[in-house]
């Protein structure tokens, strides 16, 4: 029925040209297929990941840190809900207007707001959120909430604020938290490799237990994923999970709680005692097994100011304070122990049989070694005395003689075993060891031979000897327990939120000195008993240097001491201390344990620039011991009070200074 058009031959002329078309089509098909194969099959997974990154925004949900509780479960460090002002730079329409609106509400200069945003944009990109201000007041929250609708990019977010209910009490012990610094970030990530992962903006423990318990009390942060469109707006899809079900929010996990050995009641008594005496210094109270009960270092600071973003002004005040409030003086300051060193010298003197408990030694007011006079604090001297009286009255000349007889190396052999000149190993960073010298040490560090005269100054705790309060507590505790050198510790348990114990610390005896040690030294119970009796008399004897600070019903044993601050000659040490400018006054020491015969608690107190150990440091120790026995052995205190006819023995607040320490 149908035939071709009149002259199909004419159109047939082109027949040979159609191959051009096939070539072009074939070319396009090949090139496109290869390219699509490359993009969708070879690079498909990578590009799929890119498209996921495009649309999914991660919001970090900070996990609360674990609490710190005292041995009775009382709160020492906790978290409080707070509010912070956050900016999401990608949504800001006009930075100038925002800064002008928000600045005054937050009492920030608008220029500062602009600078902060610009800096963050430069450093962290346009999508990183900026923490404008933390810990907003109620008023600020209220005012910001009202302006939020007109200010795109501004958010008020709930946050967690670390709270220290004891405020400046124990600030150096508990530490403080703050935002991780750029410099710290790689260091900490290396240090906690595999255990913790830190990101910019994270809040971390910066000092104290907050720092050393980071791994235990840090929770794991959660993440919430939100889907955003190309303009950064949250895009809610009508059908949930349409874009992939594999993305699930990660709920933050609360950090584990730390139960400390600290007793909040005793901690508060210790701090109150320090404050009421207006003392600078440190005190540490330790149970005989090494559990730390109280730990105070003053002057102090309020760590709550750090949690909420410390002002530059406050910070510079803290670091420029000559009395170093940020320093943990219990372990970071080492001072000459002064006369508190004498009982430690008495140990080798007795053990090496330089003296026996009954040996009578002449202790005049001045002692010539070579041609140089070495003075006692008492011009007339102490007469002929035994080691008991030497300790009770703190005779210098008695111990000069012990120093000469023993020599520094013998003293070193014993006293370093008691823990002097060594780190105690407490769970805190930046502990210093102090120094217990010997002749080899002097040669190595000073480069000179040991001078015989230095035996004398060493024997009364001056010269090269330096100690931390904590190491003194350990040494006295070893004397009190007749040989048990313990490792002091602060952390009893780490428990999770259900109360399950994850980690537990047990008391640890580092060495028992009644056993023969590696350097051949051992110390007999008799030696300890003799020294303990001397120390008992310090607090209880008629001429004891700490006799004014008794706790009714409890016998304590201890020793006062004075540490030279400036290099005065021996006879000037006690001259008109109170008349000097405060930074030049001597430090007062008192180290004690109680009960004297079988101690439960050992306390080392350093009262910086207080001139005297007795009046400066002993009252604090007394208050702590009283608080301890009132709490743990109320029957002892009550019985003593009853015996005195119900009248509570009142120790004088300002006691007459007993000569000689």
Positions touching another protein (CB under 8 A) are 1-8, 10-11, 13-15, 17-18, 20-22, 24-25, 28-29, 31-33, 35-37, 39-41, 43-48, 50-52, 54-55, 227-231, 233, 235-238, 242-243
Shortest distance, position 154 Cβ to another protein, whole Å: 21
Contact criterion met (CB below 8 Å) for 65 and 162: yes
- Sign of the four-CA dihedral 133, 137, 138, 144: negative
Cβ distance to another protein smaller for residue 234 or 542: 234
Shortest distance, position 151 Cβ to another protein, whole Å: 22
- The residue among 261, 631, 553 whose CA lies nearest residue 428 is 261
Cβ distance to another protein smaller for residue 8 or 581: 8
Q: Which residues pair with 426 in a beta bridge?
A: none
Shortest distance, position 117 Cβ to another protein, whole Å: 18
Quickly tell me which residue has 């005012």 as its tokens.
143
Contact criterion met (CB below 8 Å) for 527 and 471: no
- How far apart CA 136 and CA 60 sit, in angstroms, is 20
Cβ distance to another protein smaller for residue 36 or 501: 36
Helix H, strand E, coil C: the string for 401-455 is HHHHHHCHHHHHHHHCCCCCCCCCCCCCCCCCCCECCCHHHHHHHCCCCCCHHHH
Cβ distance to another protein smaller for residue 14 or 368: 14
Shortest distance, position 27 Cβ to another protein, whole Å: 9
Structure token pair of residue 32 = 């496109």
Shortest distance, position 320 Cβ to another protein, whole Å: 46
- How far apart CA 9 and CA 174 sit, in angstroms, is 102
- Sign of the four-CA dihedral 397, 402, 408, 411: negative
Cβ distance to another protein smaller for residue 45 or 579: 45
| DSSP characters over 556-598 | -EEEEEEE-SS---GGGTTTTGGGS-GGGSPEEEEEEEESSSS
Residue 99 three-state SS = helix
Cβ distance to another protein smaller for residue 25 or 446: 25
Strand 372-375 and strand 366-369: pairing? antiparallel
Shortest distance, position 227 Cβ to another protein, whole Å: 7
Shortest distance, position 14 Cβ to another protein, whole Å: 5
Cβ distance to another protein smaller for residue 90 or 332: 90
Angle between helices 95-105 and 110-124 (to 10 degrees): 120
Q: Judge residue 389's burial from the number of C-beta atoms within 10 Å of its C-beta, 0-12 exposed, 13-18 middle, 19 or more buried.
A: buried
Cβ distance to another protein smaller for residue 236 or 444: 236
Q: Judge residue 34's burial from the number of C-beta atoms within 10 Å of its C-beta, 0-12 exposed, 13-18 middle, 19 or more buried.
A: exposed
Shortest distance, position 245 Cβ to another protein, whole Å: 12
Cβ distance to another protein smaller for residue 32 or 142: 32
Contacts of 204 (CB under 8 A, 6+ apart): 177, 178, 179, 180, 184, 188, 198, 211, 214, 218
Cβ distance to another protein smaller for residue 26 or 652: 26
Shortest distance, position 34 Cβ to another protein, whole Å: 10
Contact criterion met (CB below 8 Å) for 161 and 81: yes
Shortest distance, position 9 Cβ to another protein, whole Å: 10
Cβ distance to another protein smaller for residue 8 or 194: 8
Shortest distance, position 33 Cβ to another protein, whole Å: 6
Contact criterion met (CB below 8 Å) for 596 and 557: yes
């Amino acid at each position: 029925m149908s035939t071709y058009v009149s002259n199909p031959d004419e159109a047939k002329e082109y027949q040979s040209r159609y191959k051009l078309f096939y070539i072009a089509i074939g070319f396009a098909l090949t090139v496109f297929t290869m390219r699509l194969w490359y993009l969708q099959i070879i690079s498909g997974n990578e590009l799929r990941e890119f498209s996921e990154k495009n649309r999914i925004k991660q919001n970090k949900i900070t996990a609360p840190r674990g609490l710190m509780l005292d041995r009775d479960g009382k709160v020492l460090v906790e978290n409080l809900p707070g509010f912070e002002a956050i900016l999401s730079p990608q949504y800001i329409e006009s930075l100038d207007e925002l800064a002008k609106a928000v600045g005054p509400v937050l009492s920030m200069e608008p220029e500062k707001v602009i600078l902060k945003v610009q800096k963050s944009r430069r450093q962290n990109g346009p999508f990183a959120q900026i923490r404008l201000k933390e810990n907003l007041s109620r008023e600020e929250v209220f005012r910001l909430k009202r302006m939020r609708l007109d200010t795109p990019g501004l958010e008020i977010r709930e946050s967690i604020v670390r709270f220290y209910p004891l405020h400046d009490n124990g600030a150096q012990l508990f530490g403080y938290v703050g935002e991780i610094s750029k410099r710290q970030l790689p260091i900490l990530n290396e240090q906690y490799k595999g255990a913790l992962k830190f990101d910019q903006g994270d809040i971390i423990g910066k000092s104290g237990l907050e720092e050393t318990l980071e791994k235990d009390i840090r929770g794991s942060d959660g993440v919430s994923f939100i889907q955003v469109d190309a303009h950064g707006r949250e895009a809610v899809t009508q059908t949930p999970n349409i874009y992939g079900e594999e993305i699930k929010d990660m709920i933050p996990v609360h950090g584990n709680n730390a139960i400390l050995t600290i007793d909040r009641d005793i901690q508060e008594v210790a701090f109150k005692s320090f404050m009421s005496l207006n003392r600078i210094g440190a005190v540490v109270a330790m149970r005989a097994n090494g559990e730390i009960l109280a730990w105070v270092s003053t002057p102090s600071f309020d760590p709550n100011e750090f949690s909420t973003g410390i002002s530059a002004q406050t910070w510079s005040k803290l670091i420029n304070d000559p009395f170093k409030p940020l320093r943990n003086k219990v372990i970071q300051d080492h001072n000459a122990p002064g006369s508190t060193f004498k009982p430690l010298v008495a140990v080798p003197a007795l053990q090496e049989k330089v003296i026996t408990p009954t040996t009578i030694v002449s202790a005049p007011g001045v002692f010539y070694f070579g041609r140089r006079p070495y003075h006692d604090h008492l011009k007339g001297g102490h007469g002929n005395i035994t080691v008991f009286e030497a300790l009770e009255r703190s005779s210098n000349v008695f111990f000069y003689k012990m120093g000469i007889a023993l020599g520094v190396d013998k003293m070193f052999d014993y006293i370093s075993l008691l823990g002097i000149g060594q780190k105690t190993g407490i769970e805190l960073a930046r502990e210093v060891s102090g120094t217990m010298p010997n002749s080899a040490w002097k040669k190595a560090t000073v480069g000179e031979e040991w001078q015989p005269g230095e035996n004398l100054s060493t024997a009364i705790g001056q010269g090269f000897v330096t100690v931390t309060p904590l190491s003194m507590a350990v040494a006295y505790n070893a004397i009190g327990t007749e040989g048990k050198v313990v490792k002091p510790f602060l952390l009893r348990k780490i428990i999770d939120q259900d109360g399950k114990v994850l980690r537990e610390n047990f008391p640890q005896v580092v060495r028992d000195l009644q056993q023969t040690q590696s350097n051949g030294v051992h110390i007999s119970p008799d030696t300890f008993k003799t020294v303990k009796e001397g120390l008992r008399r310090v607090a209880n004897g008629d001429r004891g240097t700490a006799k004014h600070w008794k706790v009714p019903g409890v016998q304590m044993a201890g020793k006062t001491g004075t540490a030279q601050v400036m290099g005065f000659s021996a006879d000037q040490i006690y001259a008109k201390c109170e008349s000097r400018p405060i930074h030049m006054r001597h430090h007062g020491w008192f180290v004690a344990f109680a009960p004297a015969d079988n101690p439960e608690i050992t306390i080392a107190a350093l009262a910086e620039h207080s001139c005297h150990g007795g009046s400066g440091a002993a009252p604090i120790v007394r208050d702590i011991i009283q608080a301890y026995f009132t709490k743990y052995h109320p029957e002892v205190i009550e019985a003593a009070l009853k015996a005195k006819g119900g009248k509570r023995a009142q120790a004088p607040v300002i006691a007459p200074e007993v000569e000689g320490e």
